[in-house]
Structure 1
Amino acid sequence: MELRVTNLACARGGLTVLEGVSFTLRPGHALVLRGPNGIGKTTALRTLCGLQPALAGEVSVPPESMAYAAHADGLKATLTVTENLAFWAAVYGTDLVEDALQRMNLDALRDRMAANLSAGQKRRLGLARLLVTGRPIWVLDEPTVSLDAASVALFAGVIRAHLAAGGMALIATHIDLGLDEAEILDLGPFKARSPRDGGPASAFDEAFT
């Protein structure tokens, strides 16, 4: 299985932000999305995962093959670290909680309530959810936010192990994770043209012409 994206166009707030995005991601590889703030990296990832409709184009694999880690950690504050992971493991039908605890260095925190974790610890727990999904394609939106240097290195190692096992990773990040397997996709050339540049006008644009 590979992730093949062809001529994808996506919008934010009713305005087209990207168009013509095409790439292929194969097992064992990572693709890093780059571009200035506001260009549409998050919008592209959400569209690829099926969280919002595409304006045009095709994504070759179903969203059920992807695990998405967004800016929010998705934790239940009144559950412990272990209980949070057990909840998500039950959702995805896996038995990978202990593996996730060990690989994200959370074992010593297993009985602590999520509400009592530091920002970095919450982020590690949020990312540990990827490990209990059992899904081959990880879609990561600025995954290293709130992580210190040691935790960034830890997570980079987790990504490398996922790739070595035949997984794939699609990452929007400004941080160099040291992934030799990663290719870079600059979204700049796919930025949608505005009406003043000859691009299509939206209803919003027309109302304020």
Structure 2
Amino acid sequence: MSLLAVEDLAVARGGLRAVEGVSFVLEAGRALILRGPNGIGKTTLLRTVAGLQPPVAGRIIMDDDAVAYAAHADGLKHALGVAENLAFWARIFDGGSGDGGDGVGAVGRALAAMDLMALADRPAAALSAGQKRRLGLARLLVTGRPLWVLDEPTVSLDAASVARFGAAIRAHLAAGGSALMATHIDLGLAEARDLDLTPFRARPGRSHRPAGFNEAFA
């Protein structure tokens, strides 16, 4: 079963096309890792799939509310504790709790998966950079969303935490989810394949400003 299909996609950054003519299908239980040199458009493509900016051309086919997106910002409420942050996101996404909707079961599983149980009551503002990153990634586990879109998810993580997150992705895939990501780290995903964006680099000088384009957010 396909969770995501991309057809002849073109995306733009700063009013200039980054990549174009990108097509792929991502099936349940599989991961796709975007490859290519820095600046080619991996982040722009991920943001487009996540619905944060419109495509220049082509189609993105998936169910509504399928995506959980994790990028460089951890998306934390610093005044809330670790468990409170996860409970907040479980309510926002309204899915994946498996416990009557209050998020407690999903929160406990997420805390355990990312080794945050001992920090459950600590305010997010008091966490180290690596702990904040682990909490930001733990949000994925409470969303109930089948498609994880990940932009360099292992930044600020030590080797043990990278291994934990790799295990979380493998469990997500085994449960029928999928993942689209850009990463330079080997997460040990046997279910993953690579897509090199280099052949899809847009021709120099091709400009395009989609409807609603705002240069401040390019």
Q: Which amino acid in the other structure matches residue 42 of structure 2?
A: K
* 1:32–1:182 contact (8 Å) kept in structure 2: yes
Secondary structure of residue in 1 paired with 2:65: helix
* 1:50–1:63 contact (8 Å) kept in structure 2: no
**Correspondence for 2:142:** 132
**Correspondence for 1:192:** 202
- Please provide the CA RMSD for this pair: 1.2
Q: Which amino acid in the other structure matches residue 185 of structure 1?
A: L
Question: Which sits farther off after the overlay, 91-100 or 168-177?
Answer: 91-100
Deviation at 1:93, TM superposition (A): 1.3
Which of 150, 154, 158 is equivalent to 2:160?
Answer: 150
* Alignment of 1:160 onto 2:191: no
What CA distance in whole angstroms lies between the structure 2 residues aligned with 1:11 and 1:31? 21
Secondary structure of residue in 2 paired with 1:166: coil
Q: Deviations over 1:117-137 (max 9, x none)?
A: 111100000000000100000
* Alignment of 1:17 onto 2:18: yes
Deviation at 1:78, TM superposition (A): 1.0
Q: TM (normalized to structure 2)?
A: 0.88
Q: Deviations over 1:77-131 (max 9, x none)?
A: 1110011111101101132111111111111000001111111100000000000
* Shift in alpha-carbon separation, 1:190–1:74, aligned structure 2, 3 A: same
* Shift in alpha-carbon separation, 1:202–1:101, aligned structure 2, 3 A: closer
Structure with the larger helix share: 1
Residue ranges of structure 1 left out of the alignment (5+ in a row): 204-209
* 1:49–1:63 contact (8 Å) kept in structure 2: no
Residue ranges of structure 2 left out of the alignment (5+ in a row): 96-102, 210-218
Superposed, which structure 2 residues align to 1:91-130 within 5 Å?
Answer: 91-94=92-95, 95=103, 96-130=106-140
What CA distance in whole angstroms lies between the structure 2 residues aligned with 1:21 and 1:62? 19
* Shift in alpha-carbon separation, 1:189–1:63, aligned structure 2, 3 A: farther
* Alignment of 1:73 onto 2:53: no
Q: TM (normalized to structure 1)?
A: 0.92
Deviation at 1:62, TM superposition (A): 3.8
What CA distance in whole angstroms lies between the structure 1 residues aligned with 2:89 and 2:83? 10
**Correspondence for 1:183:** 193
* 2:11–2:20 contact (8 Å) kept in structure 1: yes
Q: Which amino acid in the other structure matches residue 194 of structure 2?
A: I
Q: Deviations over 1:40-63 (max 9, x none)?
A: 100000001111000000111145
What CA distance in whole angstroms lies between the structure 2 residues aligned with 1:202 and 1:93? 36
Percent identity, please. 67
**Correspondence for 1:171:** 181
**Correspondence for 1:206:** none
Question: Which sits farther off after the overlay, 92-101 or 51-60?
Answer: 92-101
